[in-house]
Amino acid sequence: MFVAMNRFKVTEGQGDAFEQMWRERKSYLDQVPGFLHFLLLRGDEPGDYISHSTWESRDAFVAWTQSESFASGHRQGSVQNVLQGPPVVSLYDAVITEGGGIPASK
């Protein structure tokens, strides 16, 4: 399994607006091969957010970043104006996996 995280530092007072932008976007992820799970995470530290996606493999993630779904998703306008700086992408391979899984959403 593979996890991609994009870390955002949201301007003070703009957290609700930032979350609303994410809720209103179309994610285009449902149909992407190898996509497993997406979370928008709000940290305990003020303004700290992560867009967090889990994939069957790094290859599936890389293929998505080169796809039309990715381009469509990222053409929807930017959250840039409520951020304190550019988001920071970090990529992770799962070395150990344990547990009963995570249920499907909705």
Question: Under the rule (CB under 8 A), what is the footprint of its own copies?
Answer: 1, 3, 19, 22-23, 27, 29-30, 35-45, 48-50, 52, 54, 90-106
Write down the least CB distance from residue 71 to its own copies, Å: 19
Nearest to 61 by CA among 90, 32, 89: 32
Which one, of 53, 3, 6, lies nearest residue 27 by Cα? 53
Report which residue type is found at 20. Answer: Q
CB of 78 to its own copies, least distance (A): 18
Give whichever of 75 and 95 is closer to its own copies, judged by the CB atom.
Answer: 95
Nearer to its own copies, 81 or 90 (CB): 90
Task: Please give the Cα distance from 18 to 23 (Å, whole number).
Answer: 9
